[in-house]
Amino acid sequence: MTDINELVDALTLEEQVSLLSGEDFWSLPAIERLGIGKLRVTDGPNGARGGGSLIGGVKSAAFPVGIAIGATWNVTLAQEIGTALAREVKAKGAHVSLAPTVNIHRSVANGRNFECYSEDAELTAALAVGYIRGLQENGVSATIKHFAGNESEIERMTMDSVVSERALREIYLRPFEDAVREAGTWGVMSSYNRLNGPYTSDSRWLLTEVLRGDWGYDGVVMSDWFGSHSTADSVNAGLDIEMPGPTRDRGDQLVAAVKAGEVAPETIRTRALNVLRLMERTGALQGSAPFEERSEDRPEDRALIRRAGAEAAVLLKNEGLLPLTPGGRVAVIGPNAKVARIMGGGSAQLNPVHAISPWDGLAARLGEEALRFAKGCSNHRFEPVWSGDLQVAFYEGRDFSGDPVHVDTMEEAQAFWNPPLAGGKVDPTHFSARVTGTFTPEADGTYRIGLHSVGLSRLYVNGTLVADAWEGWTPGRTFFEQGCDPVLGEIALTAGEPAEVLIEFASLDQVGLGFAALYAGIGLPLGEEAIEEAVRAASEAETAILFVGRSGEWDTEGSDLEDIALPGRQDDLIARVVAANPRTVVVLQTGGPVEMPWLDDAPAVLQAWYPGQEAGHAIADVLYGDAEPGGRLPQSFPRRWADNPTFSQDPEVYPGQDGKVRYEEGVFIGYRHYDKVGIEPLFPFGFGLSYTDFTLTGLAVEAAEDGALARLTVSNTGDRAGSTVVQLYLGEDGAPLPRPVRELKAFEKLALEPGESREVMLSLPPRAFAWYDEGGACWRVTGGSYRIEAGFSAADLRQQADVEIGAAVIAKEAQR
């Protein structure tokens, strides 16, 4: 039986209900009676981790993170990445990728900005469409997330995002709308938060009236993990699948709700039919192949990731220093120089097939003999993880009583303990564990010990209690807000003398995301002498390259940043190295903006983001001119944290207060905010330098029956081939309500040879001119004269033209 309408009617009520919740963490149950296979999902969006833990597991290709893809402004490249990721998902035995993440950069401090594309809805929507098409044209479902209003990680599982319908329609829902109408996404994931009252997973307005009614969606809506909150309400609202399994609110409870008349049998049939449609689309419906997860290190993936990483790099400043010419000694300096910062933290992280650090990339190009390394300072949030040959013993109960029921090894003192734990021998909600091993210091000194956990923990060194996260444990800002804040201790150790380390752990009653976790780190703080060594290295080299920024400890799901200053003493390090060597390049790796008090003195600054596993190769390609710095900023960089759109004296605006965060700025986020309040950002939205020069000429805009068409010519006037992004902004001065000074409405990325010119045609559909009328529940074009500006950033607009457009009302169901 292959007709899903016949198949759903052949299912019993209990079988239909079984399809509406996970069987385990990553899959839905098979129904062998009718030959229905098992649907499997995997985390994304910068890879496919498979069914393993967030740490370790089968290795996967690590692609550039979302903000890096956003910086490419390249829809075709996003589709190529989606195509490659479809292969990765299949290699992990899955049918569904939990990606892409398209929440908007509302605040510069959101810990998950790295995973999202942009502050701009139109750029985000276009890239999402390309990415989804790449996945789904190859038989893998996208699951666009998080729907909707999840623009902060602070109390995200309970926070009520209070957003006007106009701001939702014009900004926050736009990527989801195009994902449905243009890309035909097969999956949507509801967010954790509340939206204007109800949880999104219980919101009939969001899941049924908007998603299925206004946009005509026929795919599946699944909850974020542990993000559903009810039985009848969520099913009636439009939530198809509760994840993960085993079920908490469905199963027998949902069957009982149907029999009690709280949920109509036809509603259950519709939800089950949606799931069967997804299984049919992805080949899972009759899938009978044995489950297998493979690691596939493909040369074509390495090449794509390297190319995409270079195309994402944004050249922020260049006083003629870049591209570099090989020759002379190069000082490679900074806390990110010998560490491959390839991804952010949280559910997007994975075990990469390999990871190329900047040092690796430069050594491969120049030879190690040409390089000199100096770390200078540290930038970690947590002490470096304790690693080695560690042993963990699990006990029944929380008091270490009796003999261990399971003993295993660990490579490092970092663990996510999800069910099934210890091969099913341990109750994951009621256990204790001892981790033992040694730490041999390389130098004498007072070492810092850091410990945080989801559960009670304490750490002993040579029998002495050094870090206690047991007494007075409370949840904080680690492990998705499920873990305590780091507890720090210090102990003096002698070089070469092994120290015995013991960690004791006891689980707590599981709430929220339902896991236990542990992290223990040991590190020797760097002092003034480390910066002095870096300054000496820089002064004795022809060129100094500084690799600074953050890491996935800072840019992570589950925790917003407290500010946008570079962590630790990095600002001091940069200032002193730049003063020591006028040929210094600063390479930033962050998931968003940082303050740059040293900018005026630095001759060259490159923003490299987290560009995936080929990071070091991609960065070296750009530094030495093998590749163009192809990126343009997808997010405005403010001069200081207080300039950003969510800064307010009212904490309810950000970070939220008493369970509510109010989007008071409405549609005025990102560059719209800076234009409105007259603040000049450090670097504007869309900005990025090239190794060549471009001009724009001849902008002409003609009204048409279906909107307007803009024409202009772009020319490469330099002596190198290069790429640029032509950006088209629209403004309306006479609107009956406040509108931004300008809004991005179309763009095109193009590569040109030296001296080459090309005509670019950009369409402006009726929706480009419209604003959302809450009172009339429609899209409305005021009519009259509209200003069209073309340029290379929101602040570099070189051509302007006006066009007359008639007044109109656009029905919700109309296509763009």
Order of strands, sheet of 456-461, starting from the edge strand that comes earlier in the sequence: 406-412, 387-396, 431-439, 499-506, 456-461, 464-469
Element (H, E) at 15: helix 13-18
Peptide bond connecting 146 to the previous residue in cis, omega within 30 degrees of 0:
yes
Q: What angle do CA 412, 418, 419 make, to 5 degrees?
A: 135
Which residues lie across from 453 on neighbouring strands?
Answer: 518
Which residues lie across from 372 on neighbouring strands?
Answer: 331
How far apart are the C-alpha atoms of 691 and 685, rounded to whole Å? 19
Choosing from 178, 224, 233, 555, which is the catalytic residue?
224
Taking the alpha carbons of 208, 209, 213, 216 in that order, is the dihedral positive or negative? negative
State phi, psi for 315 to the nearest 5 degrees. Answer: -85, 110
Residue 360 annotated in active site:
no
Q: Buried b / exposed e across 20-40, counting CB within 10 Å, b at 16+?
A: bbbbbbbbbbbbeeeebbbbb
From the number of C-beta atoms within 10 Å of its C-beta (0-12, 13-18, 19+), residue 356 rates as: buried
CA distances 603 to 438, 564, 607, 620, 681, Å, are 45, 22, 14, 18, 19
Peptide bond connecting 45 to the previous residue in cis, omega within 30 degrees of 0:
yes
From the number of C-beta atoms within 10 Å of its C-beta (0-12, 13-18, 19+), residue 666 rates as: middle
Nearest of 110, 137, 117, 109 to residue 45 by alpha carbon: 117
Taking the alpha carbons of 577, 579, 581, 586 in that order, is the dihedral positive or negative? positive
Nearest of 354, 310, 337, 315 to residue 618 by alpha carbon: 310
Taking the alpha carbons of 183, 188, 189, 194 in that order, is the dihedral positive or negative? positive
How far apart are the C-alpha atoms of 440 and 718, rounded to whole Å? 56
How far apart are the C-alpha atoms of 131 and 728, rounded to whole Å? 22
Report residue 751 as tokens.
Answer: 């590569």
Report residue 510 as tokens.
Answer: 């599981």
- CB-based contact 330:366 (threshold 8 Å): yes
Residues labelled as active-site residues: 224
